[in-house]
A and B are shown apart, each in its own frame.
Chain A
Amino acid sequence: MLGIGLSIVSLARFQFAMTTVFHFFFVPFSIGMGVLVAVMETIYAVKKDKVYLDMAKFWGKIFLLSFAVGIVTGIIQEFQFGMNWSEYSRFMGDVFGAPLAIEALLAFFIESVFIGIWMFTWDRFKPGLHAFMIWMTAIGTMLSAIWILAANSFMQHPTGFKINNATGRIQLTDFGAVVANPQLWRVFPHVILAAILTAGTVIAGMSAWGLLRKKKDENHFFKTSLRFGLWTSLIFAILSAGAGDLQTQQIIKDQPMKFAATEGIYKDTKDPAPWTVVELINSKDRTASHKVEIPAVLSLLAYHKTSGAVKGMDTVNKELHAKYDKQFGKDMDYYVPPKTLFWSFRVMTGIDALIMLIALFGVIWSRKKKDTIENKKWFMVIVGLAIWIPFIGNSAGWFITEFGRYPWIVYGLFTIADAVSPTSTVGTLLFSNIVYFLLFTLLGGVMIWYSRQTLHHGPYYEMEDSKQNVDPFAKEAFVK
């Protein structure tokens, strides 16, 4: 019985992880691309430099491909709470539904209506008005991020609620507190900045591949795009690191277990706390060895000063037992998966630093006077390969956030094991997992394939294509 119960929970968790990670490949990329395409079109509207129109059109195609996969996989998320996590929906309905419904009303409608207009009105609207449509879409995507993150932040750090004693469910008492959740206003900038970073890195990377083909007519286009992408990557890699630092401050306060695991600390550190670059974690014995440490840096990261010890997981575990044993019993395991968190953090920050470095050199080597970047083939290949790493970084970031919530689905209030649908069976979950997996493989593969093909054709492909397609009896065919 326990064995089956466990696998229902783990299958449901696996499904949530798979669907959200896949969805979140496309979400940040689409948010970032929306903003960047809007910027390109605005530059065109102001400066009337045609290369920016070509850029908006070309990168707009990539944006639309990503957007399409993003929205269809987004519907899964909304249905999933009811399908796999009905007990969670019952418990959390009073708080969780509102941001979701507001997200649909406020954000999804703006997004979906204005992207429809934008797609079909290139030839009808003046550049400024047309750019307005993509700005509305971009704003819609960002508004949507606020509301879904408001819901997520409540799960990390519940605010503005009470437990209804009659029903045992959560009850909203202060909507303002849900919206003003300090977690929300630290995670939101981090997500948006990382989204723009993602799009910038992809634009730079694809432009690098485009430049390597050395087609003369495309050189100016890809060179401008490359610099645009590199500058974006550089600026937003720095900004998102800063936003991440702010978020860390909040996590230390609200979720010390998450922070201790992120840094792989079992025993309380000395004062000032050293930062562990790498270590070997034994999560069974709850020890860590082979540490490579830098003195005092963790104090600096955690408290922005050179002193102060950091609590280890053992201490936090004791505190959590003292706090929650009455309600949840003595058998709870409050340790979060330390290896996942420790390495996810290093992967995420490492990728951010790497992009910063690549972008910095790229910006320097692509200056107008020092036009040497095309001749550094090895560097262009690195920029091209860097397309993939922000996606890994984004997923790693969410691994920290979500695995660091363990064993809670709503922090301190409701456990993951209690949240799953009583109606779920191993059979249906296995079936849906396989269906989603196959579907995602197909969608992801096709999306990448068509993006690659779009790049292969280059920015001026469509125009040649439409020249051939001119109706032989139309007026244009007779005009020389």
Chain B
Amino acid sequence: MTLANLWFILIGLLFAIFLFLEGFDFGVGMSTRFLAKDFDERLALMTSIGPHWDGNETWLVTAGGAMFASLPLMYASLFSGYYVVLLLVLVGLILRGVSFEFVKHAETKTGKNIWMWTFFIGSFLAPFLLCLMLLSMVQGIPMNANGDAFPKFFDVVNLLSVVGGVAGTLLSLVHGLNFIRLRIEGPLRERARKLNQILYPILFLGEVVFAVLVFFQTDFFTKRFGSSLFITVLIVLFSLLGYYGVLKDREGWSFAGSGLSLSTVIVLLFNGLFPRVMIATNPAHSILIKDAANSQYTLTIMTIVAAILVPIVAIYFIWSYTLFTKRINPRENTVKY
């Protein structure tokens, strides 16, 4: 195992953790329109992720920073190539990020509604566009010898990328609803379970279409048949676990299942990318991990830093979650800031 390969895996892991955590944040944000019926309920949903969303988003920032620090050529090509998509992702993240704070200060009904809507729109835009980008990227895009990517409109928006975007968004919503079942009490919790009873069959349909499209539109199954098949089955199995939790009213199983499904999608994509970091339509222009990587010296330093800091972060990160386990009641929610 070279250090470059290790960092490729680590970046995948960081994205997988990000999707597991921010996935339910996004889902909770979307639920403000799909599940909640009034402002109290919306605020309760927002409160359930209030202490956590910023920390969850930090995994994305860390993934981006780690990519810059270990595979800068991937960072440069991906971020400059998907300029407009990432701009819109940023707009989504900005709008939802400020909503948490601004909605507390809004005093009129209109003001409160505006920030609840920006919260919803941001929570919807970000996962859709991120999944769209990832599923576009793995199909291969026009690139030059310098590594500059020039995806055209239909390289970015096509059948697989849109299905991937929708499936990722739906999975985030399902995951968010499972989180709500864990953190909220009262009718809202039961409604979340009922909604997921409807959403899971649609999700399974989406996952099958997604798998078929990945089979035809990417080279995952020609290059790495066994592992790709295994991981795809795993995604479905985790979703089934989530569905089982919905039917048997076991929130823990549901939450773990939907979160792991989301993370496993990243595993599928990174497994298919390997040993490349960017796939060009002209295979000669694809970028390999070993060419994208930083020097041994830098990677060694980063490995030592990560080996020390990640466990420490993990400890206080998990501890912070244990502080907020009491279920929130939307009718008695006195948000104190």
Contact = CB atoms under 8 A, between A and B. Distances in A.
A90 B73 contact: yes
A41 to B, nearest CB: 14
B102 A450 contact: yes
Interface string B10-46: 0000000000000000000000000000000000000
B65 A104 contact: yes
Interface footprint category on B: 35 or more
A353 to B, nearest CB: 34
Interface in B26-79: 50-55, 57-58, 60-62, 64-70, 72-73, 75-79
Given A81-B68, A106-B309, A115 B54 contact: yes
By secondary structure, the B interface counts as helix
Contacts of B102: 68, 446, 450
Given A65-B105, A72-B94, A105-B313, A435 B87 contact: yes
Given A93-B75, A106-B309, A117-B323, A86 B80 contact: yes
Interface in A76-98: 76, 78-79, 81-84, 86-87, 89-90, 92-98
Nearest to A96: B68
B95 to A, nearest CB: 8
B83 A83 contact: yes
Interface in A60-84: 60-61, 64-65, 67-69, 71-73, 75-76, 78-79, 81-84
A247 to B, nearest CB: 27
Interface residues of A, number: 73
Contacts, number: 218
Contacts of A97: 65-70, 72, 75, 294, 298
A100 B65 contact: yes
A428 B83 contact: yes
B225 interface: no
Given A89-B68, A93-B294, A432-B87, A108 B309 contact: no
A112 B66 CA distance: 18
Interface in A160-210: 164, 171-173, 175
Contacts of B316: 109-110, 113
By secondary structure, the A interface counts as helix
A277 interface: no
A119 interface: yes
B148 A109 contact: no
Contacts of B86: 79, 83
8 contacts: A83-B80, A89-B72, A97-B298, A116-B51, A120-B51, A171-B298, A172-B297, A454-B105
Interface of A: 60-61, 64-65, 67-69, 71-73, 75-76, 78-79, 81-84, 86-87, 89-90, 92-98, 100-106, 108-117, 119-123, 164, 171-173, 175, 421-424, 428, 431-432, 435, 439, 443, 446, 450, 453-454, 466, 469, 471
Interface of B: 50-55, 57-58, 60-62, 64-70, 72-73, 75-81, 83-84, 86-87, 90-91, 93-94, 97-98, 100-102, 105, 107, 146-150, 294-295, 297-298, 301-302, 305-306, 309-310, 313, 316-317, 320, 323-324, 332, 334, 336-337
Given A72-B98, A116-B52, A171-B295, 17 more contacts: A68-B97, A78-B61, A82-B78, A97-B69, A98-B305, A101-B62, A105-B306, A109-B317, A111-B54, A113-B320, A117-B323, A175-B301, A423-B83, A432-B83, A435-B87, A439-B94, A466-B334
